[in-house]
Chain A
Amino acid sequence: MKKGFLAGLAIAMVVLTMFASCSKKAAGTGITTRILTDATGIDDKSFNASAWRGIERFYDNTSLRNKSYSYVTAQSQDQYIPNLNNAADEDISLIIASGFTWSDSIKTVASQHPNQKFMLIDAAGVNLPNVVETLFAEEMGSYLVGVIAAEQAKAEGIENPGFGFVGGVPGATITKFEMGYVQGVRSVFPNARIVDYYANNWGAPEMAKAQAKNWFDSGIYCIFSAAGSTGNGVIAQAKEERAKGKKVWAIGVDSDQFEDGLYNSTDSAVLTSMLKKVENATFQILTELKDGKFISGIRVFDLSIDAVGYSDRNVKMAKTAKDAAEKAKKNILSGKVVVEKTFAGAKAKGLVPASLHAVDD
């Protein structure tokens, strides 16, 4: 009986395998794409999810999924090169790799497939004619949330508000966030007290929480953190303070962190978040490709396609703050306001205090 069972299963397997060869891919019309992500996948509620939304918006037809567009999640990093190689085997118009951890693998594979187009999200340094490397003008988005924080302080009638910034590991990338934020704040309060702190760690929320408590106790009104999960410590502390009735705020980063800041069913301690809308970058590159355009090298996406911005989900955000942010946005777009992204540049123009701990590479 067992033998028959086994034989039956074996036959079933063979038949199924044969069926597979019948389900040929429908003739793809136009652009095809595949996004490769790290282990967090396209439902990480953050970066990859955003990139995927851009792809879905481009196709605007979910029945094309797995025909014209697809995704592959790597379980571990040693799958990066095989996954890239196999995507390159399948004549896909554009292979998208989400996140800077792909840099080395994409460099290897893209140089072996010079006719295959690749897009690398949030990293640069590959420098190949078939790779577009996307970066984001985080300093612009950070400027806007700085303006919002300062205007909110004005609207709430805070006297002498102080503003804090928490960074992960110091470096040019995080300096962009800090410089933008401080310039935004100082555009409203030219002499505002600014404090900053680098945890030297992307995963130490407890350090950020202790620092945030000190600052909130010493009269800091709002803290912006660009520090990975370290920043969650700031939000946690802001929640505690607000639950006690203190008027303080935290600002989220990358994706809308409104929900992380909820301290009861409706109120959030996250005033706004600096958004990085990767979806607009993937959508943009795919649209260009459809129009027969492919510009390799470093592409910086900024306010002009709304690739960076702020969240207005918190209803407590003052209308004056939002208006000011919109005005600042227009000024940046028109070139009236130039946001410096290096510490040296901002210091030279006297836009930020010289006592900050930011580092340019």
Chain B
Amino acid sequence: MGLDNKKGKLLGHDRDELINLADKALKREGVISVIVVLLGFLLGTLLIAFVGKNPSGMYSSIWQAITGHNTVTGRFNIRNIGDTLNYLVPFTLCGLSIAFAYRAGLFNIGAEGQYIVGMTVATVCAYYGPKVPVIHAVYCLLMATAAAAAYGGVVGYLKSKFEVSEVVATIMLNYTALYLSRMVCMALPGATTYNTSPFPKTALMKWGPLESMFNGSTINLGILVLVFGLLVYWFIMEKTILGFELKATGFNKNASLASGIPTRRSTILSMAISGAFAGAAGAVVAIGSFTYGRIVSGMDNYGFNGIAVALIGNCKTIGILLAGYLFGVLKQAQQFMQTRGVPREVTFIIQGVIVVFIALRSAAEIMRARISKMKVGDSKAKSGAPASVKAE
């Protein structure tokens, strides 16, 4: 394709310039993601207008979620920014989880279950861990991550050894995790039908200065876990042999196997690391956003939303972070929207539409193929020279 661009420039026609621009834009997957997100918002806006509500309520809500500025009362509260950032953490970590498996050619629908396992183990460790500041919270986090890694790894093992579909296995394990979590948490100290007694202070990820900086927001040190997670993801994927092997397995398993890559190991490892990210998300929510254990009656849906986050972010580190932020903003915006007469369900529709339109990536490929044909046609007509074999 690079060859075509060069040729167009050499010929120096205006139309070619334009075509080249479109070609380049479509080649940048980031651009496609942005277009898709905008399309989602456009449809959401039309939908609100269509049901006779004022779409401005949605945008002022999103504005408040991002900047903390309430356009209705004219007040500013930095706490809103902090809360949005706090939602961003589990969305992004779960996005990393899905993306990690996806890059290795696996579709991990079980991030929700792995998230619940992480949450549960963190809750248990909050009661029974070493009650030393910092060490206790880190212990909870590590145990949660390890347990969720094992929970994901089992699926990887089943996949590599017995060809068990990871999609089916992980979906089933989501429910196993939910009910297991309820059984375990009901046996914890002070368990009622919905919560357990308050955690020891040493287990919490809360940090006073950060909270007061954001005016009493729920933001906590989970944000550091996220930064670490992003670095780990980027480093493994881009800088290590392991990452290369995983990606190669994802591209073509048989070819990878033939060139000496241990694809079985890749499958198990990628599911385990994928689970670890989701487990970390669960731990961050459990001991970061809450000061007591929860007996969950339903799913928090961070894991499921992680699928959309990974797809929108195109499985790239920065992309996932931005997509996670988008989801955090939409989640935070819901409460403002509802008081401004815009149904919060619109945010789910926007998210859904975005995921559907992500399929436009393949449409972009088709368009690029057409563009290259147009260029070939041009060069034929103008210069009379036969098109290169490659361009066809």
Contact = CB atoms under 8 A, between A and B. Distances in A.
A44 interface: no
Contacts of A17: 56, 59-60, 63, 71
Contacts of A100: 194
B292 A104 contact: yes
Interface in B275-315: 285, 289-292, 294, 298, 300-302
A315 to B, nearest CB: 35
Interface stretch (B74-82, B163-171, B255-263): B74-82
Contacts of A71: 338
Given A75-B331, A77-B290, A2 B59 contact: no
Nearest to B344: A73
A79 B218 CA distance: 9
A76 interface: yes
Contacts of B338: 70-73
B56 A16 contact: yes
A291 interface: no
A20 B73 CA distance: 11
Given A17-B59, A19-B56, A20-B60, A112 B216 contact: yes
B254 interface: no
A104 B60 contact: no
Interface string A87-108: 0011000000000110010001
Given A2-B22, A9-B38, A78-B289, A20 B339 contact: no
B92 interface: no
B252 interface: no
A65 B35 CA distance: 35
A11 interface: no
Contacts of B298: 39
Contacts of B70: 89
A168 B216 CA distance: 38
Interface residues of B, number: 54
Given A34-B339, A79-B331, A79-B335, A6 B59 contact: no
Contact of B300 (A6, A73, A78, A168): A78
Given A20-B56, A79-B335, A85 B300 contact: no
Given A24-B72, A78-B300, A104 B56 contact: no
A104 B79 contact: no
Interface in A10-25: 13, 16-17, 19-21, 23-25
Q: Label chain A's interface by main secondary structure.
A: helix
Interface string A260-282: 00000000000000000000000
A82 interface: yes
B270 interface: no
B218 A81 contact: yes
Contacts of B54: 19, 23
B352 to A, nearest CB: 14
Contact of B57 (A20, A83, A104, A169): A20
Interface string B34-72: 110010011001000000001111011001000000111
Nearest to B302: A76
B193 interface: yes
Nearest to A92: B339
Contacts of A294: none
A199 to B, nearest CB: 13
B77 A169 contact: no
Interface of B: 22, 25, 34-35, 38, 41-42, 45, 54-57, 59-60, 63, 70-75, 77, 79-80, 83, 86-87, 193-195, 198, 216-218, 285, 289-292, 294, 298, 300-302, 331-332, 334-336, 338-341, 344
Given A82-B332, A82-B335, A168-B193, 7 more contacts: A1-B22, A17-B63, A20-B59, A20-B71, A21-B60, A21-B74, A86-B335
5 contacts: A16-B55, A66-B339, A82-B80, A85-B79, A108-B291
Interface of A: 1-2, 6, 9, 13, 16-17, 19-21, 23-25, 34, 39, 65-66, 70-79, 81-83, 85-86, 89-90, 100-101, 104, 108, 112, 168-169, 202
